[in-house]
Structure 1
Amino acid sequence: MQIERLIQMIFYLIDHKQVTAKELAVYFGVSTRTIYRDVNTLTLAGIPILSTKGTGGGISLLDGYTVDRSLLTKEEQQNIYQGLQILQATKFPNSELALRKIGAVFREALQPKWLEVDFSFWGSDDSEKIKISDLQEAILNKQVIAFEYFNSELQKSERQVEPLRLVFKSHAWYIVGYCQTKREIRIFRLSRIRGMQVKEKIFDRELPKDYSLKSQQSTDHLPVLKLKFSPEAAHRLYDEFSAEQLVAQKDGSYVVEFQAELNNWMIHYLLSFGKQVEVLEPESARVALKERVLEIAGLYQKEEGVEKHE
C-alpha cells in the first residue's frame, strides 16, 4: 500500500540521511518514477524532503528533521530496541519492520551490534524454527490448534488445544492452553509438537486471572535427587544448575540436590553424563539407572555374540 510505503520511506531517510531514487526503488520494489511521485506526495504533506541532482546528489530530509525522542532516556531506547531484536529472533510477524523504524528513530542511542539472539538449536534448519506467527494468529484470533505431542516418556498423542498464552521459560518455548482431550489447562513444550495446524474452529475461553505458571509446577510431591558429579562435568553443571545447588567437594567433585520426577526423560538426562555422574539418593533412582545401563550393555553383548558365532 502507498501509505505504508510512504511511512517506511520517511524512516528510511531518517536512517540513511541521503539516498538515490534508484536505491529507494530497489528497496521498495517499485520504479524510480513511483519514487519521485512519492517524494512529491510527502513534500505536499509537509515533510521537508530535499532532492538534488548531479554528482553527490540524492534524496534527503532537511537537517534536524526527526521524531521526538525526548520522553525516553537513552537506556530506555536501548531496552526497547533489544526487546524488538528478541522478537525478531522468534520470527515474530512484522518485527523486522518495527526494528527498522525504531532503529531509525533512536539511532543515536543504539548500539545494536553487540547483541544477537537466536532461539533455534545448533544444527537446526528453517523447518525446525518456532512458528511464532502461526501461534500468534491462533491465540489472538482464538482458533483451536491441532498437533501430535510427544511427552517426556516419548508417548505420542493427538491433541486439540485452545491456545491461551505463549511462554518462554528456561531455554524453551511452551504453549499454555485448554486441552480439549484432557479437559483442563495444560502446558505443552513446543519442541515436542509435530504437525501443528491452526483450525477454523473458534473458542471463547480466557486464561483465568489467578493462573500462574509457577503454581502449575509444584514440586512438593517429587523425590529429592542427590547426585555426585566428577570435575569433568563442571562445564555443564554451571549451565544447568544454579550456583546454590552446587556443593564443591574436596576431591574436586560436585554434589547436587534437587526435586524432580523420576521418569524416562530424567533417566535419559542422567545417562547423558555417562560415568561423570553417580546417583547417591534415592535408591529407586540408582536401581532405575542401573537397569537402563544394563539394557544398553545387553544390546552390545548381543552384537558381540553374533560376531563370535560367525
Structure 2
Amino acid sequence: MQIERLIQLIFYLIDHKQVTAKELAAFFGVSTRTIYRDINTLTLAGIPVVTTKGTCGGISLLDGYTLDRSLLTKEEQQNIYQGLQILQATKFPTSELALSKIGTVFREALQPKWLEVDFSFWGSDASEKIKISDLQIAILSKRVIAFDYFNSEMETSRRAIEPLRLVFKSHAWYIIGYCQVKQEIRTFRLSRIKKLQVRLETFQRDLPKDYSLSAQKSEEQLPALKLRFSSKAVHRLYDEFSEEQLIIEEDGSYVVSFQAELNNWLVNYLLSFGPQVEVLEPELLRAKLKEQALKISELY
C-alpha cells in the first residue's frame, strides 16, 4: 500500500541520508516515476524532502530533520521508546535492533535516558529472560511447549501445553495454555517453570474470546485472612501489600487483611517472617503454621 511505502521511505531517507531515485525504485520494487510521485506526496504533507540534481545529487531530507517535527510529539516518542525498553527487558526478539533505530530517529526527545526495566529477580541469570523469548516464539508459531512445573503445594510434574497467551500480572509472569495432561486451559507461573522446551509439534487452538484471567480465581472463593505483623516487618509490608490492606495499631504493629488460598506456598511464605507475624484468622491457617513450625523445631 502507498501509505506503508511512504512511511518506509521516510525511515529509509533518515537512515541513508542521500539516495538516488533509481536506488529507491530498486529497493521498493517500483518505477522511478512512482518514487517521484511519492516524493511529491511527502512534500505536500510537509515532509522536507530535498531533490538535488547533478553528479553528486540525489534525494534526501532537510539536514537535521527528525520525525518529531511532523508526525509525533516528544511525549509520544518517549512513550514508544519506553514500550520498546520493556520489550527489551524480556529479551523480545529484534527489540534491541528496533530500540537502536528508534533511538536514532527520536534522539532529540530521549535525552537523558531515565528508565531501565528488568523483570528478572535479584541474582537470576539470563535464562530467566530467555524463557519469555522462547514462549513468544512458541505462541506465535503455535508450537507445543513442555516443562517441569512446581505447583503451590511444591509438587513437581511434567507438563505439555499449547501456549496461548503470556501475561504479566501482580508482579509476576504467567503463561496461559491448554494443558494436554489435564485437558483444560490452565495458568502457569513462569518462576515455577523449569527445563522449558519448545517442541516441533504444532496446534491450531486459540484462547476463547470470553476468557478472563481474573475470573479464574474469584476472591469470593478464597478464604479471608487476618494477620498481625510486628513493626520490624514494615519494610516488607509496604513492598508486598497495598496501603488499603494495612491498619496500624496503637502499639505500632500492623494488621493486614486479604484473601488467599490456604496452601503450602502460603504457609512457607508466612514462615519467612519468623516471629514477626501472627495469624489471627482463620483458625485452620493458625493450625497449619503451628504444625510446620513444630516440624522445623524438631530439626534443632
TM-score, normalised on structure 2? 0.80
> Which residue number corresponds to residue 88 of structure 2?
88
Residue-by-residue CA offset, 1:72-128 (whole Å, 9 max, x unaligned): 222111111101001001100000111111112222222352111111111112233
> Which residue number corresponds to residue 202 of structure 2?
202
> Which residue number corresponds to residue 125 of structure 2?
125
> Which residue number corresponds to residue 260 of structure 1?
260
Consecutive aligned runs of 4 or more in structure 1 exceeding 6 Å deviation: 7-10, 39-43
Q: Give the C-alpha shift of residue 155 in structure 1.
A: 0.6
SS in 2 for 1:131: helix
Residue 118 of structure 2 aligns with an amino acid whose one-letter code is D
Residue-by-residue CA offset, 1:117-148 (whole Å, 9 max, x unaligned): 11111111223334222111110111111111
> Which residue number corresponds to residue 285 of structure 1?
285
Distance 2:257 2:151 in 1: 24
Matched, 1:193 2:193: yes
Distance 1:213 1:236 in 2: 27
Q: Aligned-pair RMSD on alpha carbons?
A: 2.7
> Which residue number corresponds to residue 79 of structure 2?
79
Residue 268 of structure 2 aligns with an amino acid whose one-letter code is H
Residue-by-residue CA offset, 1:240-276 (whole Å, 9 max, x unaligned): 1111110111111110111111100000000011111
> Which residue number corresponds to residue 239 of structure 1?
239
> Which residue number corresponds to residue 296 of structure 1?
296
Distance 1:182 1:290 in 2: 33
- Note closer, same or farther for the CA distance 1:278–1:43 as it changes in structure 2 (3 Å cut): farther
Distance 1:166 1:69 in 2: 36
Distance 2:21 2:193 in 1: 48
SS in 2 for 1:257: strand
TM-score, normalised on structure 1? 0.77
Distance 2:69 2:12 in 1: 19
Distance 2:137 2:143 in 1: 8
Residue 288 of structure 1 aligns with an amino acid whose one-letter code is K
Residue 93 of structure 2 aligns with an amino acid whose one-letter code is P
Distance 1:274 1:198 in 2: 40
Distance 1:212 1:117 in 2: 27
Residue 109 of structure 1 aligns with an amino acid whose one-letter code is A
The percent identity for this pair of structures is 71
Residue 211 of structure 2 aligns with an amino acid whose one-letter code is Y
Distance 2:142 2:236 in 1: 40
Residue-by-residue CA offset, 1:162-189 (whole Å, 9 max, x unaligned): 0000001112111000111111110001
- Note closer, same or farther for the CA distance 1:172–1:146 as it changes in structure 2 (3 Å cut): same
Distance 1:259 1:84 in 2: 35
Distance 1:266 1:145 in 2: 28
> Which residue number corresponds to residue 269 of structure 1?
269
Length, aligned pairs only: 262
Distance 1:41 1:190 in 2: 50
SS in 2 for 1:261: coil
Distance 1:150 1:42 in 2: 60
Q: Give the C-alpha shift of residue 219 in structure 1.
A: 2.1
- Note closer, same or farther for the CA distance 1:137–1:236 as it changes in structure 2 (3 Å cut): same
Q: Which ranges of structure 2 fall in alignment gaps of 5 or more residues?
A: 1-9, 25-34, 36-48, 51-59
